[in-house]
Structure 1
């Protein structure tokens, strides 16, 4: 076996399968594109689902990749086991209806055992097979030559996640030897495929050959597929002979950096602190790569996952004597460790550091909140003479605030409490079940659609140079059936060549008409999509007959097309302007270009100011006014990247690409349509900017005629406002509005003063009405003030004058009740608390509330219950 680095293993895998005729697909972003079923890319196969389900037919039916992935369903096991990670790399080779079991098994064996490649000792390898898969077992035994005692039949070796493709699989295990054996020799799990540390699964080959139907029956797939996955971290741990994945060169440099930051604790000295080292090393990798790919910490979705990972890592940092923000200092080593194949972290290091550091600071500012909640929980249980912290409370601290369970346990035990492990596990199990339910839906694939995959006609796009052409009708489809002739209805058609653009890259499809040889419109084109093999599939409404093989004139709606291309080129200008104003880390996260407007989504950490929007708008209009030529060239991907071309979010590019160049200022890879000169756009106007998700913002803008209409509408609105203000000119509206605003503020100030004076007069009367219960003096009254703020002002006066032991005030406003309670310090010492009192009386007004021992407040939707609430004060104090 060779002495290899992780980078060498990854490249060797890709080189091997390239030599076997596979196309190498680059690792996709961790954020799924056009797949709402996935929160993260969670496997190598997730990025090639479109090939398996028939949505897209790949140029090459043999594909291999090294794909970064994230899974967080077993986050509590990270650091405690040898191989659980949130972010990992999956090496995979895929066959879409090409080779099957025989080739897949021989490929795997050659890569693992050949001296030219990994060079494992064949005697160290074991395999598991599905008992009914006699063919796989025969190949391993008869063709590969594996001994019978190295082939284990396991019933679970069947890949099935519900309706869709499924099939048997075969797993390959490496025997790491007796030194890794954590079980007794006679233990029933001591075998390849059992739960043990000696036999390590390194590769899984899935033979997707059945369609699992909704009625739980299985039928053969029309084309059989191969889906394999080999965890890079696992195989590297074998090659580098490390006890866990964390001692490999993928993690150890990060751990060493953590040691330097700690300055006190070293890895390998203590089992518990080793867990913390591993958790931090794992979580910072996931954080750095996810943020570099455009995800940002937040309270929902994938942003919540990042926030939880960061807080969990920071809490473990405290166990290593690190009591300040530190994760951001690890971004550089993460980038350096992975830079050979994944340069994105190093390229965006400063931005990733900024995001993590900001989030860490925010966490350290609020961490005391979690500790305070735990302290309150302990005090509450102690007050109720309980000796146990309930599982639901532990889970809330763990899930909401990122408190590790062991930290809660440590603090609780120091305070003399037990921990409800069983209750916590029930909560965790419920969460795992929710994750499993979600995963079963997330990972499911659609059944292959054979009709469109059967299409073998060619379809050539000529719309870059003309919007009208003649072409024979190559294919006619209606109701999922190929037909020769149609007299009406809706259909899908393919022509040998077409000027109609198919919806791609954010640009909507062209529409137009199909004209027969007599010059009559025989069909209207309503949409155009690409078929799985790339043909232009036109959706049409047939007005007259269509005949396969007949020549027709295809004519694009020119006016609509021109409005679309103005918006598309403006989108490119906006993209460049946005990066100039906000920085290179602001990346496109989707776009829409249609005749009416353009929409541009982008990742950004923070708000966008009006000044920044105006600067972007100014830059775009300057480029329009400079009348810059827009040129397009077709070249290879390498040359395009050397030109500095930006790639659009989520797009896949072949070897030949189209580059749109705006005077060497904006250079992007784009297959869409564009104006010939920026002056054709006319004018550009940003209509709105908003946040649409965690770290993702959206700009809507208009150009040309739509921009003029926007300006005209704004002018009409100003004229209406001028009429309301009785002004002769619209340029006087701003000055007049400012004057009215100042007048309004002055009136509001006077109103506040009058309200305060009225409230004080009421207070003089209320404060004289002191009642007594036993030795406690109290005031309980309803007064007429405008809001809770004035109740608090009166409570401040009461406190300063030490008028009574207890104060209860109520007011009604807008059909709702407001209650306030206050208790003097001496009375608190007697056990009477404002928070307890408010909870006792608030139900009378159908409300609830709370607060401190000295002051509390509540709101309710039943103001008619105020008298009963005030009466309850007396009863409560008597008790």
Structure 2
């Protein structure tokens, strides 16, 4: 075996398959593009689903790449086991309907054993296979110097993730020798394919040859595929002969830097603290890559995962005695290790560092809040003479505040408390179950069909220069079958040899228009999409007569639809530029909608834009429009476009020659869409809203041209209505009139509250007359209408003054919701009836929830109809609590 660095292994793999005529693709972003089923790119195949299910046909059916991936389903195992990671690199080679088992197995063997490549000893390699797959073991036996005794049948060797392509797989294992044979000889897992440290899986070859149908039957695939995966971290561990992946050159430089941040703790001698070194090294890689790809910490989705990884790292740093901020210092080391291949790391070092520094500041404040929360839990339990922290509370500290269980246990022990670890584990298992359920369908594909992939007609888009064109029908698809004609009133997909209709792409929706035969309108174009082989396929409704194969027609794009779309598309480019100018270069596009009615632009940003920032962006876009900037489009090699500084649009696919839209050097973007010729044709730009739609992703909605003018006119009409209602003749007097009305309203509310208090006091004798008893506990229960929380608390004050019952229970029907209040005196608490416990029991009758302290608790519910049943059940619920 050769001595190789991780970078050399990665490059060797790509070079090998490049020699086998594979296209070497760059790693896709960790943030999925146009795939709502995934939170992160979590496998090499995740970026190629469109090829496997036939949605798109690749230019070359042979593909290879090194894909960065994130998986966080087993985050608790990171650092504990030898090989669990959140971020990992998957080396893969794929065949989309080209080669199959024979070539895939032969090439895997050649790469691993040839002296030119990895140079592994054949006797150290084993292969598992699916027992019903009789071809695979026979192919393995044909490989030079392969030992047939090293074939192992495994029932689980079948790759199936639900509907879509699936099939058997064969896994390759490397025997690391007896030095790693730390299991008993009679251990059932002590074999290639078992869970052990001696035989490590280094490569998995999946042979997709079946369609998993929606009815759970399996049919042969029209086109068989190969999908392979080799984890770089694991392969590097094998080549560099390290006990775990963390001692390889992918992690050890980070770990060594962490050593320097501690007070002399050495990784090799750290014992149990090795876990903390590993967790930090793993997590900082993941967050650095994710942030450089545009993900940002937040309280939901992938942003929540980032925040959790960052906070786990900080907590493990504290365990190593690192009290100050430190994560940002590790980023340049990661860029040094991996930045040569992943250039985005080097380009975004400072940005990643700034995000991490800000997040660490935030978390140090949160740690204090978490410690305060733990203290409040302990103080509350002391009053109840309970000295064990419940599992659900410990889990909340872990999940919300980032406290590891061990930290909660340490803090609890200092105060004479224990922790319900079984309850904590039960909560943790529920979270794992939710994660497993959430990912059960995350990688599912469409069932593969050949009706569109078999259409290889020539096609030319002429819509940049003309909205009208003669064209000949080359293919028609109706109800998933190729047909000779589309009958009157039928809707199907029609392929022409040329078309002026823009197919939906890059956020711009498709053109609409007509199909003419002479002066007759014979069809209506409802939609246009890209076919698997790249042509435009038109969704057509046949009108007055059939549309026939091989017949010529005149295609006419709706000019108004296109003109308005052009205005909005060019405006999105100007908006992108303005956002970067105002917010910073991190404001990258993350999706868009461009149609004739409006534009929508999604972008990455830390938080809500201020009113000043929104105004600055809107003013800047309108300044671009007013400047009458020329909009030039040019085709050029992609390297030349990048040298110009052209920005790539979200979700767009680029070839060797690209289309560059240059707006007087103010905005330069790669874009296949349609645009105005000059920015003054946009007319005006009105930013309607700026909202958050996900973790670190903001959305702007805007109007241009006539739509913006119509909006201004509508707003003016509303303003005039308000003037009429308020009887104000001049608009500049409106604010003063509104301020005056608010002051009057505030004074009226104060008077009402004062009157309510007087009425409540006057009626209190009657309200508090009826005292009921359950055993030795007395209570007063009130069912009221339309009472605010303040009014209910005033009743509580009167109850305290009267002191004629142990409990006060108030239920208020406020129309669409119910409000509950429970107060308990010391006598009730001594007898076991605490306000918080009682209100939890009563809230279920109104479909609500709440809680509080033993003396006072409040709750809300969405079903006030349940109040009568609640009142009838008070005795029962008190009885359950009385000691």
What's the CA shift string for 1:24-67, capped at 9, x where partnerless?
22111212122222221110011011100000000010101111
Q: Deviation digits for residues 803-853 of structure 1, max 9, x if unmatched?
A: 9999979796857666474879xx999999985697599779978754446
Partner of 1:493: 494
**Partner of 2:151 in structure 1?**
151
- Aligned residue for 1:606, secondary structure, equals coil
Q: 1:835 to 1:268 in 2, by over 3 A?
A: farther
Deviation at 1:694, TM superposition (A): 2.3
Cα distance in 2 for partners of 1:391, 1:332 equals: 40
In structure 1, the gaps of 5 or more residues are: none
**Match in the other structure for 2:468:** 468
Question: How many Å separate the matches in 2 of 1:330 and 1:424?
Answer: 32
Residues 607-664 of structure 1 deviation map (CA, whole Å, 9 limit, x = unaligned): 1112211111111111111111100111111111111111111222121111100001
- Aligned 1:703-718 pairs, distance under 5 A: 703-718=704-719
Whether the 8 Å contact between 2:213 and 2:447 is mirrored in structure 1 is no
Number of residues of Structure 1 aligned to a counterpart in Structure 2: 872
- Cα displacement (A) at 1:714: 0.9
SS at match of 2:566: helix
Once the two structures are superposed, residues 242-287 of structure 1 have per-residue CA deviations (whole angstroms, 9 ceiling, x without a partner) of: 2111112222222223223333533222332111111122122222
Aligned partner of 1:688 in structure 2 is 689
Do residues 566 (structure 1) and 570 (structure 2) align? no
Aligned to 1:225: 225
Sort the Cα spacing of 1:859 and 1:568 in 2 relative to 1 into closer, same or farther, 3 A.
closer
Residue ranges of structure 2 left out of the alignment (5+ in a row):
none
Distance 1:627 1:118 in 2: 60
Which whole-Å deviations, capped at 9, do the CAs of 1:178-211 have from their partners, x for residues lacking one? Answer: 2222124454433322221122111111111223
Relative to structure 1, the CA distance from residue 823 to residue 346 in structure 2 (aligned partners, 3 Å threshold; closer, same or farther) is farther
Partners of 2:79 and 2:336 lie apart in 1 by 22
Q: 1:19 Cα shift? A: 2.0
Does residue 1:81 correspond to 2:105, yes or no? no
Greater mean alpha carbon deviation, residues 258-267 or residues 827-836:
827-836
My pick for the range that moved more, 856-865 or 555-564, is 856-865
Structure 1 contact 258–277 (Cα < 8 Å) conserved: yes
Greater displacement, 355-364 / 709-718: 355-364
1:80 deviation in Å?
0.6
Deviations 1:198-230 (A, max 9, x none): 221111111112233455544332222110000
Are 2:168 and 1:168 equivalent residues in the alignment? yes
Instruction: State how far apart, in whole Å, the 1-side matches of 2:872 and 2:61 are.
Output: 78
TM-score by length of 2: 0.88
**Structure 1 stretch displaced more, 253-262 or 88-97:** 253-262
Query: 2:301, 2:694 within 8 Å by CA — same for their partners in 1?
Result: no
Separation in 1, partners of 2:869, 2:313: 50
Comparing 866-875 and 159-168, the one that deviates more = 866-875
SS of 1:737's partner is helix
1:624 pairs with 2:633: no
Q: Does the CA-based 8 Å contact 1:823-1:855 persist in structure 2?
A: no
Equivalent positions of 1:415-494 (< 5 A) are: 427-488=427-488, 489-494=490-495
Match of 1:243 in 2: 243
Residue correspondence of structure 1 range 23-172 to structure 2 within 5 A: 23-172=23-172
What residue number does 1:289 align with? Answer: 289
| Worse-superposed segment, 312-321 or 616-625 | 312-321
DSSP-derived class of the 1:37 partner: coil
Mapped contact 1:795–1:822 kept (Cα < 8 A) = no
Aligned to 1:532: 532
Change (3 A) 1:14 1:745: same
Q: Is the 8 A contact 1:264 1:321 kept in 2?
A: no
For residues 283 and 848 of structure 1, do their structure 2 counterparts lie closer, same or farther at Cα, with a shift above 3 Å needed? closer
Q: Is the 8 A contact 1:791 1:809 kept in 2?
A: no
SS in 1 for 2:289: helix
Of 296-305 and 490-499, more deviation after overlay is shown by 296-305
Deviations 1:648-698 (A, max 9, x none): 112221211111000011000100000111111111111222122222211
Please say if residues 39 and 302 of structure 1, whose CA atoms lie closer than 8 Å, have aligned partners that are also in contact. yes
- TM-score, normalised by the number of residues in structure 1: 0.88
Q: Distance in 2 between matches of 1:449 and 1:872?
A: 63
Contact 1:833 1:854 in 2 (8 A): no
Q: Which residue of 1 aligns with 2:700?
A: 699
Q: Is the 8 A contact 1:759 1:784 kept in 2?
A: no
Q: Give the 3-state SS of the residue equivalent to 2:502 in structure 1.
A: coil
Preserved contact between residue 25 and residue 64 of structure 1 (Cα < 8 Å):
yes
Aligned equivalents of 1:877, 1:84: Cα separation in 2: 47
The SS at the match of 1:458 is: coil
Match of 2:336 in 1: 336
Greater shift, 714-723 or 332-341, is seen at: 332-341
Q: Which moved more, 1:716-725 or 1:260-269?
A: 260-269
Counterpart secondary structure, 1:692: strand
1:248-647 equivalence runs, <5 A: 248-368=248-368, 370-371=370-371, 395-410=395-410, 427-488=427-488, 489-516=490-517, 518-543=518-543, 544-647=545-648
Q: Against the structure 1 CA distance between its residues 346 and 679, is the aligned structure 2 distance closer, same or farther, given a 3 Å change threshold? A: same
User: CA separation of 1:487/1:197 partners in 2, compared to 1, >3 Å: closer, same or farther?
Assistant: closer
Assess, with a 3 A threshold, how the Cα gap between structure 1 residues 619 and 131 changes in structure 2: closer, same or farther. same
Distance (Å, rounded) in 2 between the aligned partners of 1:136 and 1:781: 76
Instruction: Indicate the larger mover: 311-320 or 494-503.
Output: 311-320
Q: How large is the Cα RMSD of the aligned pairs?
A: 4.1
Distance 2:702 2:232 in 1: 45
Distance 1:329 1:754, change over 3 A: farther
Q: Report if the CA contact (8 A) 2:821-2:839 is conserved.
A: no
Within 1, Cα distance between the matches of 2:875 and 2:129? 77
Structure 1 CA distance, aligned partners of 2:213 and 2:869? 60
Q: Which moved more, 1:658-667 or 1:735-744?
A: 735-744
Per-residue CA deviations over 1:736-762 (Å, capped at 9, x if unaligned) read 334434444455566667777888999
Give the Å deviation of 1:135: 3.0
Q: 1:535 Cα deviation (Å)? A: 0.9
Compared with structure 1, are the counterparts of its residues 256 and 687 closer, same or farther at alpha carbon in structure 2 (3 Å cutoff)? same
**Does the aligned pair in 2 maintain the 1:823–1:832 contact within 8 Å?**
no
Q: What do residues 160-181 of structure 1 show as CA deviations (whole Å, max 9, x unaligned)?
A: 2334322222222222222222
Please tell me whether the aligned partners of residues 759 and 785 of structure 1 are also in contact (alpha carbons under 8 angstroms): no
Provide the C-alpha distance between the structure 2 equivalents of 1:841 and 1:702, rounded to a whole number of angstroms: 52
Alpha-carbon distance in structure 1 between the residues aligned to 2:881 and 2:146: 85
**Residues 486/762 of structure 1: CA separation in 2 closer, same or farther (3 Å cut):** closer
Alpha-carbon distance in 2 for matches of 1:249, 1:556: 58
Distance 1:870 1:177 in 2: 70
SS in 2 for 1:453: coil
Offset at residue 786 of structure 1 (A)? 7.1
- SS of the residue aligned with 1:183? coil
Structure-1 separation of matches of 2:696 and 2:118: 42
